[in-house]
């Protein structure tokens, strides 16, 4: 019988008819084609695409870094962020409670006849409108020591240390990067320091600004008066401080170190001591941040705010009642020579001072040179040592009395 055109072919005897849609198996004896392997050319193309991607990423990072460096506010913010990151290296951890040390020694610090376990110190934040700034509000942080809020200490009054930031910088720097509140808690718990109040004001008015903590000669801004009068008066009015010069000190880093020493020499009737960590001691517009020159090329302003010149201008009695603590490594090529020269000026004029010039071991991943002593690891360690010395100074009352508050 002939096969009709268009009809299905006749199945062979014994063969199984495939269902519609089923996959046909290869005939016996026929090899299935092997998957195609990628050759050298394909691997080269893939490596080329990878290198192109890495090159584009590197170019983007370079362009982004150059753009940040070219825009001062972005550069300052990036620099501050980088410094705050170094503050995480070896940062102390918070204590849940602090055991106050037993002491019956008379002095300027809170005393207790027995050891008390109290909550750790607390930090409060706010803003202050100073008359010296024409009503402009600036932020501040204040550390209140362990036990400050307890009824047993309600009659105790505390000495105050004013911690000044650098440039670029802001009020939160000593709290975020320096963890100064945690450092103070641990020193108090270890009986190395008596409880005190720490005040962290904003001395610049923004990351992209540099006041050098002086009163601008054009009268537009009085940062000197803001810190030494407005902030001090506010703290004495709202907190249980000892409102006396012998119970006040200034502490600062870099620009804040210059500010601490300069404000002490300009107001020896209000402060007893100053701590400068990797600071400088001459009034020089080149020290100001990216050309924000607060001196205004005014020679009188430069002379009036030059610590090296002001030391000799003070009366001998006032010079002998000051205490200055200098922190900078002996091998610091940037700030070491300035510190050494200023130490000679202090010695020549009979000003009590202490220079801690220990050499800092290089930090892994931190660029050397300028940054070797300009990082939070060094600043925090120096502040810790300085607080111990300031506490002893407050307790002894050896700062003397050079006039009222």
3-state SS assignment for residue 223? helix
Q: Which of 229, 242, 243, 237 is nearest to 201 (CA)?
A: 229
Query: pLDDT tens per residue, the chain (405 residues)?
Result: 444 444 444 544 444 454 555 555 555 555 555 555 556 677 777 777 777 777 777 777 777 666 655 555 555 556 555 555 555 555 566 667 777 776 544 444 444 445 677 778 899 999 999 888 888 999 999 999 998 998 888 899 999 999 999 888 888 999 988 899 999 999 999 889 999 999 999 988 777 777 889 998 888 788 999 999 999 999 999 999 999 999 999 999 989 999 999 999 999 999 999 999 988 999 887 877 666 788 877 888 899 999 999 999 999 999 999 999 999 877 777 787 889 999 999 999 999 999 987 766 665 555 555 556 778 888 898 999 999 999 999 988 644 433 333
Predicted local confidence at residue 8, as pLDDT: 47
Altogether, the residues listed in the chain come to a count of 405
Predicted local confidence at residue 290, as pLDDT: 67
Query: What count of other Cβ atoms lies within 10 Å of the Cβ of residue 157?
Result: 18
CA-CA distances (angstroms) from residue 134 to 139, 205, 225, 368, 378? Answer: 15, 13, 11, 41, 36
Predicted local confidence at residue 70, as pLDDT: 57
* Contact present, 131 and 120 (Cβ < 8 Å): no
Predicted local confidence at residue 248, as pLDDT: 97
Q: Which helix (H) or strand (E) holds 126?
A: strand 122-129
Q: Which helix (H) or strand (E) holds 175?
A: helix 173-176
CA-CA distances (angstroms) from residue 247 to 140, 281, 317, 350? Answer: 20, 24, 18, 22
Quick one: angle between helices 72-86 and 40-70, nearest 10? 110
> For the chain, how big is the Rg over CA atoms in Å?
34
Q: What is the 3-state secondary structure (H, E, C) of 253-269?
A: ECHHHHHHHHHHHHCCC
3-state SS assignment for residue 249? strand
What span, in angstroms and rounded, lies between the C-alpha atoms of 17 and 26?
Answer: 15
Query: Which residues contact residue 140 at a Cβ distance below 8 angstroms, ignoring those fewer than 6 apart?
Result: 125, 126, 127, 128, 171, 199, 200, 201, 202, 231
What span, in angstroms and rounded, lies between the C-alpha atoms of 401 and 244?
Answer: 8
Q: Which helix (H) or strand (E) holds 339?
A: helix 336-348
* Contact present, 338 and 282 (Cβ < 8 Å): yes
Residue 132 in tokens: 């010296």
3-state SS assignment for residue 114? coil
What span, in angstroms and rounded, lies between the C-alpha atoms of 263 and 370?
Answer: 25
What span, in angstroms and rounded, lies between the C-alpha atoms of 100 and 184?
Answer: 12
Q: Would you give the distance in Å from CA 328 to the centre of its chain? A: 17
Q: Which of 311, 388, 321, 323 is nearest to 354 (CA)?
A: 323
- pTM to 2 decimals? 0.75
Give the count of alpha carbons within 13 A of 1, CB side only.
4
How many degrees, rounded to 5, is the angle at CA 166 between CA 275 and CA 276? 15
Q: Give one DSSP letter per residue of 46-112, joined into a string.
A: HHHHHHHHHHHHHHHHHHHHHHHHHSHHHHHHHHHHHHHHHTTTTPPPPPSEEEEPPB---SSS--B
Predicted local confidence at residue 404, as pLDDT: 33
What span, in angstroms and rounded, lies between the C-alpha atoms of 242 and 156?
Answer: 9
Q: Would you give the distance in Å from CA 296 to the centre of its chain? A: 27
What span, in angstroms and rounded, lies between the C-alpha atoms of 392 and 386?
Answer: 10
Q: Which of 136, 347, 376, 405 is nearest to 277 (CA)?
A: 376
Residue ranges of domains in the chain, CATH in brackets: 65-396 (3.40.50.1820)
């Amino acid at each position: 019988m002939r096969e009709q055109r268009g009809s299905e072919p006749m199945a062979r005897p014994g063969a199984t008819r495939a269902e519609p849609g089923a996959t046909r198996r290869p005939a016996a004896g026929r090899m299935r084609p092997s998957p195609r392997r990628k050759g050298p050319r394909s691997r080269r193309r893939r490596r080329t695409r990878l290198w192109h991607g890495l090159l584009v990423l590197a170019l983007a990072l370079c362009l982004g870094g150059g753009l940040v460096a070219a825009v001062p506010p972005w550069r300052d913010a990036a620099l501050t962020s980088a410094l705050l990151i170094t503050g995480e290296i070896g940062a102390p951890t918070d204590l849940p409670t602090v055991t106050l040390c037993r002491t019956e020694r008379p002095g300027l610090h809170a005393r207790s006849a027995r050891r008390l376990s109290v909550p750790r110190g607390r930090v409060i934040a706010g803003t202050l409108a100073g008359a010296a700034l024409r009503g402009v509000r600036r932020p501040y942080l204040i550390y209140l020591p362990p036990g400050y809020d307890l009824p047993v200490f309600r009659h105790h009054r505390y000495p105050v240390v004013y911690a000044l930031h650098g440039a670029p910088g802001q009020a939160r720097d000593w709290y975020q990067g320096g963890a100064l509140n945690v450092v103070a808690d641990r020193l108090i718990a270890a009986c190395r320091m008596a409880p005190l109040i720490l005040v962290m004001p904003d001395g610049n008015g923004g990351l992209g600004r540099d006041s050098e903590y002086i009163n601008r000669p054009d009268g537009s801004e009085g940062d000197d008066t803001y810190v030494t009068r407005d902030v001090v008066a506010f703290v004495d009015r709202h907190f249980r401080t000892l409102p006396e010069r012998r119970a006040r000190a200034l502490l600062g880093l870099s620009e804040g170190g210059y500010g601490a020493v300069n404000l002490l020499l300009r107001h020896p009737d209000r402060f007893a001591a100053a701590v400068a960590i990797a600071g400088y001691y001459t009034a020089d517009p080149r020290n100001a941040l990216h050309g924000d020159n607060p001196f205004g090329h005014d020679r009188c302003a430069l002379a009036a705010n030059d610590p090296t010149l002001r030391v000799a201008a003070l009366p001998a009695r006032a010079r002998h009642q000051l205490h200055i603590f200098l922190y900078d490594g002996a091998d610091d090529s940037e700030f070491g020579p300035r510190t050494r020269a200023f130490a000679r000026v202090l010695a020549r004029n009979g000003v009590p001072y202490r220079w801690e010039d220990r050499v800092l071991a290089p930090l892994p991943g931190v660029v050397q040179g300028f940054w070797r002593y300009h990082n939070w690891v060094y600043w925090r360690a120096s502040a810790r040592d300085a607080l111990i010395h300031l506490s002893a100074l407050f307790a002894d009352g050896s700062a003397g009395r050079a006039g009222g508050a």
